[in-house]
A and B are shown apart, each in its own frame.
Chain A
Amino acid sequence: MIMRLLSLYLIGLMFGIGISISGMANPAKVLNFFDIMGAWDPSLIFVMGAGLLVTVIGYRLVLAQDAPRYGDRFRLPTKRDIDPRLIAGSALFGIGWGIAGFCPGGAVPALGTGRAGVFIFIVSLICGIFITKRILHNQTAP
């Protein structure tokens, strides 16, 4: 139990350190990556490239195993369809990311810096997730 939680904490910590030194927690840097016609900073392509390379190789090795170290099976997403909800949701995410400069994976570690703006974004993000989940839940309920 303790080892399981400790390993989860350390995995989160590694992610948080990676986000911190990569620049993904820094909205100025993130927004400049997308501002090709302005103060362009291509750094984030290196985050994505290196992250993807490591994960492609790592997943290939890990998913060849029968089961994870702590657990009975790998929990992989089962949805396969490319539907309007996926595309509309991703488009909205992009619009919001471009307005605020934070994505969820960048903002959660940024909380550790104690900057007030991060808390404003996170509270708003959680409201957005909560409201949308409620609406989706009510739609599917009889």
Chain B
Amino acid sequence: METEFTPLLSAIGGCLIGLSAVALMYFHGRIFGATGILAGLLAPSSAQDFSWRVAVVAGMISGPIAVALVTGSLPDVDIPVSSNMLVLGGLIVGIGVTLGSGCTSGHGICGLARFSPRSLHATITFMIFTFISVYSVRHILGL
């Protein structure tokens, strides 16, 4: 399934993602890692620890709704894989980001922006393995 090349929208979206990471550091002194924010919700250390995470996650979920209020339609979420693959992928991502202490936002944006060698190794590793995974699923298994 082809998707449209959207360099301008993607760059604007990237700027907003970067601005939110900078704002979270400026106001609250925290790294914007989706994995860390989500994982901390499962076992919050205090009421305050729980409340800041809930507020950020609520904002994140409101994002597409805000877009729909302005443009009149929800952003595209086309899922070209089966439910079984969503379950399997979700489980493996959950294990991986917990062991690897981060994902695209935490390592790929915030960590690289701090020139962290750990995040550089993590980002190169997951980019290579995502490529191998997509290639295997689409061109070897033909799913």
| Chain A interface residues (CB < 8 Å from chain B) | 4-29, 31-32, 34-39, 41-44, 46-56, 58-59, 61-63, 65, 67-71, 73-77, 79-82, 85-106, 108-113, 115, 117-118, 120-133, 136
| Chain B interface residues (CB < 8 Å from chain A) | 1-32, 34-35, 38-39, 42-43, 51-52, 55-67, 74-81, 83, 85-101, 103-105, 107-114, 116-118, 121-123, 125-139
- B9–A23 contact, CB under 8 A? yes
Report chain B residues within 8 Å CB of A110. Answer: 64, 77
Report chain B residues within 8 Å CB of A25. Answer: 64, 75, 77
Report chain B residues within 8 Å CB of A29. Answer: 3, 76, 78
Report chain B residues within 8 Å CB of A108. Answer: 34, 38, 57, 60-61
Which of A10, A26, A27, A104 meets B93, CB within 8 Å?
A: A104
Q: List 6 A-B contacts (CB under 8 A).
A: A18-B14, A35-B138, A48-B108, A74-B29, A82-B121, A98-B129
CA distance A15 to B37 in the complex (A): 13
Across the two chains, which residue of chain A brings its CB closest to B99?
Answer: A89
Q: Nearest Cβ in chain A — how far from B138, in angstroms?
A: 6
CA distance A46 to B24 in the complex (A): 22
Q: Nearest Cβ in chain A — how far from B10, in angstroms?
A: 4
Which of A4, A23, A55, A95 meets B92, CB within 8 Å?
A: A95
Q: Nearest Cβ in chain B — how far from A45, in angstroms?
A: 8
- A123–B90 contact, CB under 8 A? yes
- B96–A9 contact, CB under 8 A? no
Across the two chains, which residue of chain A brings its CB closest to B4?
Answer: A41
- A86–B118 contact, CB under 8 A? yes
Report chain B residues within 8 Å CB of A62. Answer: 22, 25-26
Across the two chains, which residue of chain B brings its CB closest to A118?
Answer: B77
- B25–A15 contact, CB under 8 A? no
CA distance A49 to B37 in the complex (A): 23
